[in-house]
Chains A and B, each alone.
Chain A
Amino acid sequence: MMTKIAFVRKKEIPPSAPPITEVGLIGWLRQNLFSSWLNSILTVLSVYFIVVILWDFIPWAYGGHWNTKSLRECLDLDPDVACFSVLTARWKQLLFGLYPAEEYWRPTLTFMFLLLAIVPILFPRFFRFFWFSIIYPGLAVWLLWGGSFWSISIVYIGLTLGALFFLSLIRRYLKNYMVAAILAFLFTAVFFLFISNPLVGLLNVILPISLPFVESLKMGGFTLSLIVGVTGIVASFPIGILLALGRQSNLPVIKMICVGFIEFIRGVPLITLLFVASVLLNYFLPPGTNFDIVLRVVIMVTLFSAAYMAEVIRGGLAGLPLGQHEASASLGLTYWQSQRLIIMPQALKISIPGIVNTFIGLFKDTTLVSIISLRDPVGLASTIRADQKWNGIYWELYVAIGLMFFIFCWGMSQYSQYLERKLKTDK
C-alpha cells in the first residue's frame, strides 16, 4: 500500500518575474549607465555637461534676432542671445559668392539637377535614368558659366560621334580594339580641331541659345565648394583606379611613373600644390597661356585626391586573395576583363570606407582655396567679419558654415555605411 511519504509537485511552478533591477527601464539604466562606480561618475559628469551646454544654448538660439541691421543693433536689443541677422543679411553671399543676383536661379537649378543626377548612381533602382547623370556635367557647366549652349553640346556631339565611329569600326572592319581606339581618337581629334568651331558658329546663327557669361572669379560660397568638390570626386575616382592598377602592374615603366606620382603628391601638403596652381603654373605652360583659376584648382584637387584614392584602392586590391587573380586567368579572361568582372568589384567593395573617407577629405579640403584668395565660405567668413556692421560676430557665422559642411560630409559617411551593409555578402 502506498503511503504518502513526500510531497511531489505535479505541476510546474510558473517562472517568477525577473528582479526589477534586471529588466525594463531600471535594468537598462543599471546595465548601461550605472554598472560600476566609475561608470556612475562618468554618467553623472556627462549628464551635467550636456545640461550645462543646452542650458546656455537653447535660450541663446531660440531668442536669436533675425532682422537687425548690424551687430551693434543686436547687442543693444539683448546681448545674451544669438544675432542670426548676419545670416539673413549675407546668406546669398555665403551660398553664391559674387554671382550676379539676377542669375541666382542658375546655381540653384544646377544644385537641384545635381541631386537628380546622383540618384541613379546612388540607388540602382533608378539606374534607367543614368542618361541624365551623363548629360549633367555639360548642363552644369553651361548653367554656371553661361555662354553659348552649342559650344558645350558640341563636346557631347564630338564624343558621341567618336564612340559611334569606334563601335562601327570594330563591328564591321577591325578585330583589334587598340587600333580601333587609336583611329577613333584621331577621328575625334580631327572633329574638334577642324569641324567643331565652324559648326558651333553655324548652329549659333541658326538657333541662338545662350546665357550671359559669368566669370570664374565671381563664383564663391558653397557654390564654389560644390563645384570643386563634386568635380574632384567624380574625376578622381577613375584616375585613382588607373593609378592603383598601374602601381600593381608588372610593367616596370608604368609602375615607376605611378609610384613616383603617388608618392610625390602624398608627400606634399595640398596647399603647396594650390600655390603651384596659382603661382607657378604659368612657368610650365607656353608663354602667354592663361587658363581659368577655378579649373586649375579643380585639376590640382583632383590629382591630389586621386593619389590618395589610388592608395586606398591598392589596399583593397592587396586584400584580395591571390587565388582570385589566378582563377580569373585560368578561365581565360583577359587582363581588362578580369579586372572589370572579378577583381575590381571585390576590391572596391572592400575599400568603400576608405574611398568615402577620401571623398569627405576632398570636400573638406575645398576650403583651402580661400588661402589662394578664392571666395569659399571660410574666406567669406573673414570678409564678413571684417565688415564694420558685423565686426565681432562669431558663433552664428562659424556654426552655420560648419553645419553646412557637416551635413554634406556626414551624409556621405552615412551613405557609405548603408552601401557596406547592402553589399555585405557574408555574415
Chain B
Amino acid sequence: MSSPTLPPSESFKFSMLLSDTRYRGMSLQVITFIIFMAVFFWLVDNTIKNLALLDKDVSFNFLWLRAGYDINQRLIPYTSDSTHGMAALVGILNTLLVAFVGCIIATVLGLFVGILRLSKNWIVAKLMSAYIEGFRNVPVLLWIVMVFALLTEFTPAPRAFKGAEPEATMLFFESVAITNRGTYFPAPVLAEGAYWLLLCFGLSIVAVIYFIRYANKQKKDTGKSLPTFWISVAVIIFPTLILFFAMGQPVSLEYPYLKGFNFKDGIHLRNSFLALTLALAFYTSAFIAEIVRAGIMAVSKGQSEAAASLGLRPNKIMSLIILPQALRIIVPPLISNYLNLTKNSSLAIAVGYMDVRGTLGGITLNQTGRELESMLLLMGFYLAVSLLISSFINYFNRSFQIVVR
C-alpha cells in the first residue's frame, strides 16, 4: 500500500523565469513589451527634439488655410482660393474615381480573360496566358509610364483635326476625339423634364426586380420558367424610350467641337487619368483572371458531372452549379486585388494625376512644410480604406463559409 506523494515542490528560483515553461511565456512578453515601449519612446523623443530644433510644432491648422494651387481635375467645386482641406478632399475623390473605374474595367477584363484561359481552344488559351504572364511579370509603374507616353505622343494634337482635309478625324460619327491632350466624349445635357425620365427608368428597374422575384417563386412552386431575360429587357427599355420621345427628347448629347486650338464642351478625360486607370486595370485584370481560373478549377469535376447527369444544360451548369461555388473562393482575393489597385493608384505621381498623394502628400506637404501631419493624414486615409475593405472580406467569409456539421 503506497499513498501517492507529490514530488517535493521546488522553491522558486530566479532562473526559472527563463527556463520554466510556466513563467517563460510571461517573462518573454514582459521583456518584449519593455523593448517595444522603449523603442517607441525613443522615436517619439527624437521626433520632439527634432521638431524643437527646426522650431516646428504639430498642428493641423494648415488644413483651413488657403491652398493657392490649382487642380486640373476636380469632381467638386475647387479653386486656388479653397483651403488645403478642400484640396485633400478633391485628391481623395480623384483617388476613389480611379479606383472605382479601374476596378470595374479590371473585373470585366479579368473575368473574360480568366474564362477564355480555360477554353478548350488551344490557341485562345495560349494567347490568354501570354496576356496574363505579360502583365503580371512587368512592373505596374512601367505600364503606367508606357501607356501615358503612348497616349500623349502617338495621338494627334487638336490642331490636326482642323481644316478641310484634316490629318485626324473624330471617331464614332464625329463624337469622340482622341487627342494628345486627352479624350473628349459627348456629354449628356438634361433639359426640363429629364428627371421624369430618370424616375421612369428607376421605376422600371424596381419593377424588373419584383418581376424576377415573382418569376423565381413561380418556378419554385410550379416548375414553369418564364422568359425572364427578354421580359426584363423589354421592361427596362421600352417605357423609358416611349416617354423619351413623348416628352420631346428632353436629354440630348453635347458633342465636343474644335474651337481655336482645343476642343470645347463634352466630357474631357485627361491622359493622366486615362493612362493611370487603364494601366492599373490591365495590370490588375491579369491577377483577377488567375483568381477566376483558380476558383473555377477548384470546383470539383464531380459537381459538373452530377449536374450533367441530372440533365442540366452547359450554361445552366455554369450559372447554377459551378459559379455559385466558385464565387465563394473567388470573392475574397478579388476584393483584396481591388484594394491593391486602390493602393497602386498612388503611383499617379508618375503621370502627374492629382490624387490624394499628389495634393495632400505632394503640393500641400511641400507648400506648408507639414511633412509629419500630411503623411499621418495620408496614411490614415489609406488605412481607413483598407480596414473598411478587409472588414468587408471578413464579413463575407463569415456569411458564405461552408457550414460544417
Contact = CB atoms under 8 A, between A and B. Distances in A.
Interface of A: 31-33, 35, 39, 42-43, 46-47, 49-50, 176, 178-179, 250-254, 257, 263-264, 266-272, 275-276, 279-280, 282-287, 360, 364-368, 370-371, 378, 381-382, 385, 392, 394, 398, 401-402, 405-406, 409-410, 413
Given A49-B127, A251-B28, A287 B46 contact: yes
Nearest to B56: A283
A392 B51 CA distance: 45
Interface of B is mostly: helix
Interface string B124-167: 10010000011011111110011001100110000000000000
B367 interface: no
B378 interface: yes
B383 A268 contact: yes
B51 A368 contact: no
Given A32-B122, A39-B121, A286 B25 contact: no
B145 A178 contact: no
A420 to B, nearest CB: 14
Contact of A406 (B15, B36, B134): B134
B368 to A, nearest CB: 13
Given A43-B121, A276-B375, A284-B47, A367 B382 contact: no
A367 B141 contact: yes
B47 A378 contact: no
Nearest to B17: A178
Nearest to A404: B138
Which 6 A-B residue pairs are closest in the complex by CB-CB distance? A409-B137, A267-B386, A364-B139, A269-B343, A32-B122, A267-B383
Contact of A364 (B119, B122, B138, B349): B138
B190 interface: no
A272 B379 contact: yes
A201 B227 CA distance: 89
A410 B153 contact: no
Contacts of B29: 251-254
Contacts, number: 161
30 contacts: A32-B121, A32-B123, A33-B123, A46-B124, A176-B19, A179-B18, A251-B25, A251-B28, A257-B36, A268-B382, A269-B346, A269-B382, A272-B378, A275-B375, A279-B371, A280-B372, A284-B43, A284-B47, A287-B50, A367-B142, A371-B350, A378-B141, A378-B145, A382-B145, A394-B149, A394-B154, A402-B142, A406-B133, A409-B138, A413-B133
Given A47-B123, A279-B375, A269 B344 contact: yes
B114 interface: no
A402 B47 CA distance: 41
B303 interface: no
Contacts of B386: 266-268
Contacts of B117: none
A179 B15 contact: yes
B32 interface: yes
Contacts of B150: 394
A365 B51 CA distance: 32
Contact of B53 (A251, A275, A287): A287
B138 A406 contact: yes
A225 to B, nearest CB: 9
Nearest to A46: B123
Nearest to B283: A364
B140 A364 contact: yes
Given A33-B122, A50-B127, A251-B29, A267 B139 contact: no
B33 interface: yes
Interface residues of B, number: 58
Contacts of B121: 32-33, 35, 39, 42-43, 46
A150 to B, nearest CB: 31
Given A33-B121, A266-B386, A398-B142, 18 more contacts: A39-B119, A39-B124, A42-B124, A46-B123, A179-B19, A272-B346, A275-B375, A283-B47, A287-B49, A367-B142, A370-B141, A371-B347, A371-B350, A378-B141, A381-B145, A392-B153, A406-B137, A409-B138
A293 B153 CA distance: 34
Given A33-B121, A42-B121, A394-B149, A275 B347 contact: no
A287 B133 CA distance: 47
B382 A272 contact: yes
A233 to B, nearest CB: 15
Contacts of A401: 142
B346 to A, nearest CB: 4
Select the residue from B134, B137, B139, B350 with max chain A CB neighbours within 10 A: B139
Nearest to B342: A269
B50 to A, nearest CB: 5
A409 B346 contact: no
Nearest to A284: B43
B290 to A, nearest CB: 10
A332 B74 CA distance: 65
A273 B375 CA distance: 9
B387 interface: yes
A172 to B, nearest CB: 18
Nearest to A381: B145
A33 to B, nearest CB: 6
B357 interface: yes
Contact of A42 (B119, B137, B357): B119
B120 interface: yes
Contacts of A270: 343
A384 to B, nearest CB: 12
Contacts of B347: 271, 368, 371
B356 to A, nearest CB: 10
B295 interface: no
Contacts of A176: 15, 18-19
B343 A268 contact: yes
A307 to B, nearest CB: 12
Interface in B10-67: 15, 18-19, 25, 28-29, 32-33, 36, 43, 46-47, 49-51, 53
B127 A46 contact: yes
A283 B124 contact: no
A284 B139 contact: no
A340 B344 CA distance: 36
B361 interface: yes
B377 to A, nearest CB: 11
Contacts of B141: 367-368, 370-371, 378
Contacts of B378: 272
B46 A283 contact: yes
Nearest to B43: A284
A35 B137 contact: no
A409 B136 CA distance: 9
Interface string B308-350: 0000000000000000000000000000000000011011011
Contacts of B379: 267-268, 272
B139 A405 contact: yes
Contacts of A251: 25, 28-29
A378 B123 CA distance: 33
A42 B382 CA distance: 42
Contacts of A282: 50
A279 B18 CA distance: 41
A43 B379 CA distance: 48
A19 B124 CA distance: 26
Nearest to A406: B137
A46 B29 CA distance: 61
A413 B18 contact: no
Contacts of A178: 18-19
